[in-house]
Amino acid sequence: MALTGELRGELHRYCARLMGSVIDGEDVVQDALARALVALGEAEETPQLRPWLFRIAHNRALDLLRGRAVRKAEPIEAASDIADEANPDPMEVLMRQEAVETAVSRFAELPLLQRSVVILKDVLDESLKDIAELLDLTVDAVKAHLARGRTRLREINAQAATLAATRPVSAAVARYVALFNAQNWDGLRALLADDVKLHQSTHPVRVGAADVGMFFTIYAKFEGVKLAPAWVEGREVIAVFENSADLKPSYFMWLEWRDGRISFIRDYRYARYIVNDAKLMLAADGEAADDGS
């Protein structure tokens, strides 16, 4: 599984857009890699890793999307003339650039097959032939889905409103950030619920206040790390700056709370590719919201 390291970023770029969430996309990647590890142990021969992992991730994402009752794909119309060349024309380049720059969440508005084809072609630059094999379609069907998906995505981008202003920082997150930046590790440990869980990418899940408390012991060894409240996909998160002079965060973490104590920590230190696609907005300076807000 060490060979998957260089593929994780690509898998996440695909799964995040397929799910419409960088956080949900990482969950799919983790699940797919776990399933692949089990399958490899049972396989007589090692498969071609890249297409095999993409198929596992694709199928796992589809399972989750079906559970959300995502709308069915629209019927395919006649295929458009879409180039599949090493040097595409300027319009092809423009459409691919637009897809790459589109917010991850907007892909969820496309019908599922259009979504998959546009991501694979315009974001990951897969060939039409490889896309057809992965999705079990003909090349002409791939072209049709690509043409319609591109058109719909441009409409979605044109209609998209500007990003809403962030809400006030919650008192709980403001307290966590303040304690962390003051290196008050005992104060942070006091916030942990007895059954708190810590998830860090492929590392084993830590469970319980004593074990999770080691999380802060490790961070105490890193100099210059600073936190700041932020928002991703409407979710309040915490941006992590590895150096206080950095202009952009290196990654983020998010917390779940129960009865005023931390019940879950998700730290993306070991999955930094997530921040590349995340529309992360730092919270505006100001007073924290009341606990009841």
The pLDDT score that the predictor gives to residue 97 is 58
pLDDT (average), residues 99-113: 76
Paired tokens of 145 = 């889905």
CA distance 36 to 44: 14
CA distance 247 to 245: 6
- Phi/psi of residue 253, each to 5°? -135, 160
Among 15-24, 132-141, 155-164, 188-197, where is mean pLDDT lowest? 155-164
Handedness of CA 179, 262, 226, 215 (dihedral sign): positive
Chain centroid offset of residue 49 CA:
21
Strand partners, 252: 239
The pLDDT score that the predictor gives to residue 87 is 53
266 and 254 Cβ atoms separated by less than 8 Å: yes
SS3 of residue 275 by DSSP: helix
263 and 197 Cβ atoms separated by less than 8 Å: yes
Among 56-65, 72-81, 146-155, 248-257, where is mean pLDDT lowest? 72-81
The pLDDT score that the predictor gives to residue 102 is 65
pLDDT (average), residues 54-68: 84
pLDDT (average), residues 11-40: 89
CB-hemisphere CA count at 13 Å for 247? 0
12 and 26 Cβ atoms separated by less than 8 Å: yes
Which amino acid, residue 250?
S
| 108 confidence band (pLDDT: 50, 70, 90) | confident
Which amino acid, residue 233?
E
The pLDDT score that the predictor gives to residue 166 is 54
pLDDT single digits (tens) 270-284: 999 998 888 888 887
The pLDDT score that the predictor gives to residue 49 is 83
67 or 147, which is more confident = 147
| 101 confidence band (pLDDT: 50, 70, 90) | low
Chain centroid offset of residue 109 CA:
16
Which amino acid, residue 18?
L
pLDDT at 160 over 70: no
Among 5-19, 61-75, 133-147, 154-168, where is mean pLDDT lowest? 61-75
82 or 106, which is more confident = 106
pLDDT at 175 over 80: yes
79 or 127, which is more confident = 127
153 and 98 Cβ atoms separated by less than 8 Å: yes
- End-to-end Cα spacing for the chain: 45
Which amino acid, residue 39?
A
Predicted structure pTM score: 0.68
pLDDT at 182 over 90: yes
The pLDDT score that the predictor gives to residue 163 is 47
